[in-house]
Amino acid sequence: MRRVQAEIKKVQERLKEAAWEAREKPGAYGDDFDPAVFINDHSELNGRERELSAKLREVALLSGFDPEEKQRSASYLQKDADVLYEKVTGLYDGQVEIMSIERALEEYDWLWDYWWKTVDVDADKFTAYTELYQKGGYFIRILPGAKVELPIQSCLMMSEQEGSQRVHNIVIAEEGSSAEIVSGCTTVPQVETGMHLGVTEFYVKKGAHLSFTMVHNWAENFYVRPRTGVLLEEDASFINNYILLKPVKSLQTNPRAILKGRRSRARFNSIIHGRAGSILDLGSVLELIGEETRGEAISRAAADDQAQVLMRGKLLAYSNSAQARLECKGMLLSEEARMQAIPELEVIKAPRADLNHEAAVGPISREAIEYLMTRGLTEEEATSLIIQGFMKVGIDGLPEILEKMVDEMAKSISEGGL
Amino acid sequence: MLTVEKLSVKAGERLILDEVSLTIPAGETHILMGPNGSGKSTLLRVIMGLGDLEVVSGRIIFQGRDVTKLPIDERARLGIGLAMQHSPSLPEVTLKGLAQVLGDRYKNDWRSLATALNCDYLLERGLNDRFSGGESKRAELLQLLIQRPQLLLVDEPESGVDLVNIAVVGKALHQLLKQGKIKDREHSGLVITHTGHILNYLNADQGYVMINGKLVCEGNPRDLFEEISKHGFEGCVACAECKRR
Ligand SMILES: Nc1ncnc2c1ncn2[C@@H]1O[C@H](COP(=O)(O)OP(=O)(O)OP(=O)(O)O)[C@@H](O)[C@H]1O
Ligand SMILES: [Mg+2]
């Protein structure tokens, strides 16, 4: 036991050292900013609240977190640095584990084998800051063979002006298990500025299936840098749904899925509405290493106001029997918005791999709106129907909660006028 | 139902319609013929209020109301409906999605109409997205059957439609124009045709020939069609019996 502790200590020291070295290293993509501005005592552990107030319950609900835990199998909620929910609902005891990462690391020595294994600690200053100033994050583990029908929910909430969250999450779907996680990141309405750094590592074991839906609800002056890695074993599958409909100052993320196991599959779906002065740089990377691996990265983005939206996507094939597809579609809703799509395909010593991409950026077609108007739809209704469809068409199996969000968003855009 | 008075229309700098006048009484269906590029589709589009067309002079009166300057959707809600010659493709909106919206709005059972028009297999597809010519026409008519306009503007309903489906299209138009019983005929139509096939399915009351943006001739649609088949449009221009000359 003592020996193990000593080893862990060494690992920790090495990580801290690497992080310290990288603390000023700019991110590969996205606009630069200084995370140190948001390291202060605003959002540290205060432990004042044990429960969510009525108002905060509403905030949580908007990001898909049900404080009543109806129709949920397990819940984790962290407000600033305080953990308010970490529980499994009765029926699912013995099928799911959910707790703060600190507690999990204490409980399981083996968890260190999953710590910073799919994301590099020294990738940039944001990973470095997460390691150096980490407070919380969730540990979710779906036990071998467990079929968890009801969603597991998590919520990372920020309530302090100019504060920040630096979380490190680990999700393990053990062999043969299946589950769906709905995760919301949100700020309470009074908070205007702050920073969110989140490292999330997914391990999807042999034959396991994991679906992860993330809803982002930030404020207009927020800086957000999620860092995500996914490792898939044989016959594992992973679906990532990402939705961003609210303004944010600056958001850059480029999750990476490593399809190591034979026949593993991964799909990234993103629905983005760039608003106000948001600067968004969003992408995903699929590394198809195993034989017969399959990947898909599908994004739909609408750029409004003065938003700048950059959509990336990268497919890397290392296996001849790999197949993957990339689809970026962007719609410009304002004269001042900017949009760019950068699809990348790369084949590494696998000449028979099959990769393809489709990218399109354009305005909403006047002709299409008029066509619908000939059926009696008002200009707003026509616009809304087109945007709604644009955001959803081609994205299979979107959870109901996201469908609703997209519909409401389309409605609000068209009401605001183009 | 519809009166077009000395309507002149420009697209950009070019005059496309030149003082066009016609009247379609309630319950009547009129047919519009003429060579390619003569301005037939433009006439239908301008009655609907579409696109970048500029009305230079003249008026469009629908059920006693001047609609010349009304937005498209208001005209539609007053009861004007258009089946386009070339409908734009909307990959974002499925045929089903639109049919549902229209079904709710106009209180119609869109599902049985879709079946009647052989459209079931198209429902999940994006509107006109890689539809074949005939599919596109049927989808268009499905929408109109749900909408049930008082005045139906139909641009070449039979073009690209095979012999089996032409009967389907013909029946749909017949139904739309409520041509079953003569005494309750209230719906009116203006239908463009090149082939005249559609005349087999409609009771057409009047026909026009348009050449170079002008209505040069009018008369019994079947006679006109026969004339054109024999002598071409030149013959039509020269036709001595024509009321318009
Ligand atoms: N928006 C526009 N801008 C410029 N030219 C136009 C526009 N719309 C129509 N035209 C031109 O006006 C003329 C008449 O077009 P229209 O489509 O009305 O002809 P049509 O009689 O329907 O022909 P067809 O039998 O080939 O369908 C054509 O020369 C066409 O190119
Ligand atoms: Mg035409």
Q: Return the C-alpha torsion angle B160, B163, B165, B167, nearest 10.
A: 120
In the structure, ligand 2 is a single-atom ion and the residues with CB under 5 Å from it are B 41, 85
Interval A332-353: pLDDT, tens: 999 999 999 999 999 999 999 9
**10 Å Cβ neighbour count for B78?**
16
A399 falls in which pLDDT band (50, 70, 90)? confident
* Cβ separation A390–B97 shorter than 8 A: no
pLDDT score recorded for residue A407: 85
pLDDT score recorded for residue B245: 46
Q: Cβ-count burial of A172 within 10 angstroms (0-12 exposed, 13-18 middle, 19+ buried)?
A: buried
CA B85 – CA B44 distance, rounded (Å):
10
User: Mean pLDDT across chain A, nearest whole number?
Assistant: 93
pLDDT score recorded for residue B160: 82
Segment A40-52 mean pLDDT:
73
Indicate which residue's Cα is closest to atom 7 of ligand 1.
B11
Q: Which residues of chain A make contact with B73, given a CB cutoff of 8 A?
A: 373-374, 376-379, 382
* Residue A20 contacts B where some CB pair is shorter than 8 Å: no
Lowest mean pLDDT among A49-63, A328-342, B120-134: A49-63
Residue with tokens 């050292």: A17
Segment A212-234 mean pLDDT:
96
* Residue B41 contacts A where some CB pair is shorter than 8 Å: no
- The alpha carbon of B10 and the centre of ligand 1 are apart by a number of angstroms equal to 11
Interval A147-159: pLDDT, tens: 999 999 999 999 9
Q: How far is B87 from chain A (nearest CA, A)?
A: 8
What's the whole-model pTM score? 0.85
Interval B58-84: pLDDT, tens: 999 999 999 999 999 999 999 999 999
Residue type, A215: V
Q: For residues A47 and B86, which has the higher predicted lDDT (pLDDT)? A: B86
Residue with tokens 């395909």: A345
Segment B187-195 mean pLDDT:
92
CA A356 – CA A351 distance, rounded (Å):
14
Residue A138 structure tokens: 């969730």
* DSSP helix/strand/coil, A363: strand
**How far is residue B68 CA from its own chain's centroid?**
18
A293 falls in which pLDDT band (50, 70, 90)? very high
Provide the 8-state DSSP code for A92.
G
Over 70: is that where the pLDDT of A251 sits?
yes
Phi-psi category of residue A30: left, alpha or beta, with phi > 0 → left and psi -120 to 50 → alpha: left
CA A103 – CA A136 distance, rounded (Å):
9
Render A107-120 in DSSP notation, one character per residue: H-GGGGGGTTSSS-
Tell me if B159 CB under 6 Å of ligand 1: no
Q: How far is B78 from chain A (nearest CA, A)?
A: 9
The domain ranges of chain A are 11-364, 365-418
Cα three-residue angle A312-A137-A75, rounded to 5 degrees: 105
* Cβ separation A377–B73 shorter than 8 A: yes
Residue A300 structure tokens: 């739909």
CA A8 – CA A29 distance, rounded (Å):
32
Give the count of Cβ contacts less than 8 A between chain A and B: 71
Taking only Cα atoms into account, the Rg of chain B, rounded to an integer number of angstroms, comes to 17
Indicate which residue's Cα is closest to atom 27 of ligand 1.
B36
Q: How far is B151 from chain A (nearest CA, A)?
A: 12
- Cβ–Cβ < 8 Å for B151, B139: no
pLDDT score recorded for residue A415: 75
Looking at residue B231, which CATH number applies to its domain?
3.40.50.300
Nearest to A367 by CA among B157, B86, B164: B86
CA A395 vs CA A63, A329, B92, B240: distances in Å: 20, 12, 11, 63
Of B91, B101, B147, nearest to A385 by CB-CB distance is: B101
Domain that holds residue B47: 2-244
Domains: count for chain B = 1
Indicate if the alpha-carbon torsion angle A375, A381, A383, A387 is positive or negative: negative
**Which residues does A321 contact at the CB level (< 8 Å), separation at least 6?**
A291, A292, A293, A352, A353
Provide the 8-state DSSP code for A29.
S
Indicate if the alpha-carbon torsion angle B46, B49, B50, B55 is positive or negative: positive
pLDDT score recorded for residue A42: 73
Tell me if B85 CB under 6 Å of ligand 1: yes
**Which residues does A55 contact at the CB level (< 8 Å), separation at least 6?**
A188
* Cβ separation A371–B77 shorter than 8 A: no
Residue B45 structure tokens: 């589009």
